[in-house]
């Protein structure tokens, strides 16, 4: 049976303080983690089915086509450390090729991991599995409870493979990405020889491809963006009216990133217990950045973070890359 450890949970008071500070900031913002309440997670799943949203299916095709080549780099019986594992589906598909010796699924809440890991354990009975509830965006390191678990399963000296698919790294700016990758490197380097990182990265490409991926014809991404306001209302007790906010998504070529915002339709005041903010007509609430990388720049970032020379696999159009870099 998988074991579960909840390290720290974002408590409501801290989330409320973070939200209020963001709403009062100049310019106002709310972090992308606030997209993912139950409905937001479903809307994201719907986004991945859209014709315009290429990253998920492109990455899946790269894993399907090059999984065997990846397995030549990733040592067998490594401990697979899955960052933002969620429903564990991406890692599950790689189990037959990567043949991990242990599986550590990390997500903000172990509750998300329970069902998925229970099922995965049924299919791979002899692979020890640990669910870790922690916010690795604050700091990525294995807690003492995980070290104990590795010890108990004879995995303390096994190589470690950090698995970070989906181009989720794109939500971090380059400086924050470097910090996270350095921590990932330290985590790998603390295990046996041969470990490293397997990471999916969305690439710089034509605006004409990027912008529709974040502003689709059906308006699913717009609904995903606006749903953040409902989640904020639930968490903070605010009175955002989603219908009064317009979805804005554009590619900033100089910064190599998609920016998503919600623009106020008319002047309005949003209130919550202990605070309020007036928004002018058209004023924007910044909800997400999604950074895009060239393979050269991402490889240099991995080197700067302490990893060895990277290998990467891509699709026929060169839209997405999966990197392997040894620790």
Full 3-state SS string of 264-289: ECCCEEEEECCEEEEECCCCEEEEEE
Shortest distance in whole angstroms from residue 259 CB to ligand AVJ: 11
If the CB atoms of residues 2 and 55 are measured against ligand AVJ, the closer one turns out to be 55
Strands 268-272 and 311-314: unpaired
Sheet architecture: strand order including 311-314? 3-6, 129-133, 102-107, 79-83, 159-164, 192-202, 320-326, 311-314
Q: How far is the CB of 166 from ligand AVJ (least distance, A)?
A: 5
Does residue number 109 form part of the binding site for ligand AVJ (CB under 6 A)?
A: no
Work out whether 86 is an interface residue with ligand AVJ (CB under 6 A).
no
Beta-bridge partner residues of 263 = 246, 284
Told to check if 288 binds ligand AVJ by CB under 6 A, we report yes
Residue nearer to ligand AVJ on the CB measure, 77 or 93: 93
Residues with Cβ within 8 Å of residue 152, at least 6 apart in sequence: none
Taking CB under 6 A as the rule, does residue 287 contact ligand AVJ? no
Specify the residue, 113 or 142, whose C-beta has the smaller distance to ligand AVJ. 113
According to the binding rule CB under 6 A, does residue 137 interact with ligand AVJ?
no
What is the DSSP-derived secondary structure letter of residue 6? Answer: E
Residues 265-284 contacting ligand AVJ, CB under 6 A: none
Q: Which helix (H) or strand (E) holds 112?
A: helix 111-123
Indicate whether 256 belongs to the interface with ligand AVJ (CB under 6 A). Answer: no
Total binding residues toward ligand AVJ, as defined by CB under 6 A: 11
| CB atoms near residue 61 (< 10 Å) | 14
Complete DSSP assignment for 32-80? GGGG-SHHHHHHHHHHTTSSS--HHHHHHHHHHHHHHHHHHHSPTTPEE
CB nearer ligand AVJ, residue 149 or residue 164: 164
107 belongs to the binding site for ligand AVJ (CB under 6 A): no
Q: How far is the CB of 209 from ligand AVJ (least distance, A)?
A: 13
Nearest to 263 by CA among 291, 236, 243: 243
| Subset of 187-246 contacting ligand AVJ (CB under 6 A) | 214, 221
Q: Smaller CB distance to ligand AVJ: residue 107 or 288?
A: 288
Collapsed DSSP state (helix, strand, coil) of residue 250: strand
Q: What angle do CA 177, 74, 6 make, to 5 degrees?
A: 55
Task: State the nearest-atom distance from the C-beta of 44 to ligand AVJ, in Å.
Answer: 6
- 145-174 residues in contact with ligand AVJ (CB under 6 A) are 166-168, 170-171
| Cβ proximity to ligand AVJ, 32 vs 191, nearer residue | 32
Binding site for ligand AVJ (CB under 6 A): 47, 55, 166-168, 170-171, 214, 221, 288, 290
């Amino acid at each position: 049976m998988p074991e579960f450890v909840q390290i720290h949970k974002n408590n409501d008071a801290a989330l409320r303080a973070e939200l209020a500070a963001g709403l009062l900031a100049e310019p106002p913002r709310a972090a992308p983690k606030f997209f993912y309440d139950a409905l937001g997670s479903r809307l994201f799943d719907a986004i991945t089915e859209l014709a315009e949203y290429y990253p998920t299916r492109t990455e899946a095709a790269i894993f399907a086509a090059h999984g065997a080549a990846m397995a030549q780099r990733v040592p067998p019986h490594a401990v697979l450390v899955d960052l933002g594992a969620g429903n564990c589906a991406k890692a599950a598909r790689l189990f037959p090729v990567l043949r991990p010796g242990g599986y550590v699924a990390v997500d903000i809440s172990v509750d998300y991991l329970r069902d998925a890991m229970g099922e995965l354990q049924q299919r791979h009975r002899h692979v020890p599995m640990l669910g870790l509830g922690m916010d690795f965006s604050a700091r990525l390191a294995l807690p003492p409870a995980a070290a104990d678990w590795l010890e108990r399963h004879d995995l303390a000296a096994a190589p470690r493979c950090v698995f970070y698919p989906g181009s989720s790294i794109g939500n971090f700016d380059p400086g924050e990405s470097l910090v996270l990758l350095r921590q990932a490197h330290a985590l790998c380097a603390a295990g046996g020889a041969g470990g490293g990182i397997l990471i999916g990265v969305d690439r710089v490409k034509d605006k004409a491809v990027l912008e529709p991926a974040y502003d689709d014809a059906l308006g699913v991404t717009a609904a995903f963006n606006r749903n953040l306001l409902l989640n904020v209302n639930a968490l903070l007790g605010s009175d955002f009216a989603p219908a009064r906010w317009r979805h804005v998504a554009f590619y900033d070529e100089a910064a190599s990133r998609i920016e998503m915002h919600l623009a106020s339709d008319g002047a309005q005041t949003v209130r919550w217990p202990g605070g309020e903010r007036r928004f002018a007509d058209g004023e924007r609430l910044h909800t997400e950045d999604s950074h895009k990388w060239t393979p050269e720049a991402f490889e240099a970032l991995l080197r700067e973070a302490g990893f060895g020379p990277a290998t990467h696999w891509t699709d026929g159009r060169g839209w997405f890359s999966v990197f392997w870099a040894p620790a």
